[in-house]
Amino acid sequence: MTKRFAFQTAPSPESARRIAWLARACLLAEVQTWPKPGLVSHIDQGSHTDMTIAQFVSSAHAITPFFAQLYEAGSISAPLSRLREIGLAAERAMMDATGGINTHRGAIWALGLASAAAGRRATLGVPSACSDILRQHWGTEILATPPEEATHGGRMRRLHGAGGARIEAGWGFPTIRTVGVSALRQGRALRPGDPEAARVQCCMALIATLIDTNLLYRGGWKGLRFAQRHARHFLENGGVGQEAWRQEAAVIHSDFVKHRLSPGGAADGLALSLFLDRLDPAPPQQEAHRIADRINIQELDNGANSSDFSRPDLCGDDCGILRR
Name the percent of the chain in helix, strand, coil, to the closest 5: 65, 0, 35
> What is residue 268's predicted lDDT score, i.e. its pLDDT?
96
Q: How far is CA 43 from the centre of its chain?
A: 20
Q: CATH for 13-147+159-305, among 1.20.1370.10, 1.10.4200.10, 3.30.750.24, 1.20.140.10?
A: 1.10.4200.10
> How far apart (Å, rounded) are the C-alpha atoms in residues 216 and 222?
8
- Domain positions in the chain: 13-147+159-305
pLDDT of residue 2: 54
How many angstroms separate the most distant Cα atoms in the chain? 52
The confidence score (pLDDT) of residue 293 equals 30
pLDDT the model gives residue 165? 83
Per-residue pLDDT tens listing for the chain (324 residues): 455 554 455 688 999 999 999 999 999 999 999 999 999 999 999 999 999 999 999 999 999 999 999 999 999 999 999 999 999 999 999 999 999 999 999 999 999 999 999 999 999 999 899 999 999 999 999 999 887 765 655 554 544 445 568 889 999 999 999 999 999 999 999 999 999 999 999 999 999 999 999 999 889 999 999 999 999 999 999 999 999 999 999 999 999 999 999 999 999 999 999 999 999 865 544 433 332 232 222 222 333 333 354 444 333 433 333 233
73-to-116, 129, 305 alpha-carbon distances in Å: 6, 18, 23
Q: Do 145 and 154 form a contact (C-beta atoms < 8 A)?
A: no
Q: What does the pLDDT read at residue 11? A: 81
Cα(274)–Cα(88) distance, rounded to whole angstroms?
Answer: 23
The alpha helices in 32-173, defined as continuous H runs, are 53-75, 80-98, 105-124, 130-144, 152-160, 164-170
pTM of the model: 0.84
How far lies 259's CA from each of 51, 52, 96, 214, 262, in Å?
17, 19, 30, 13, 9
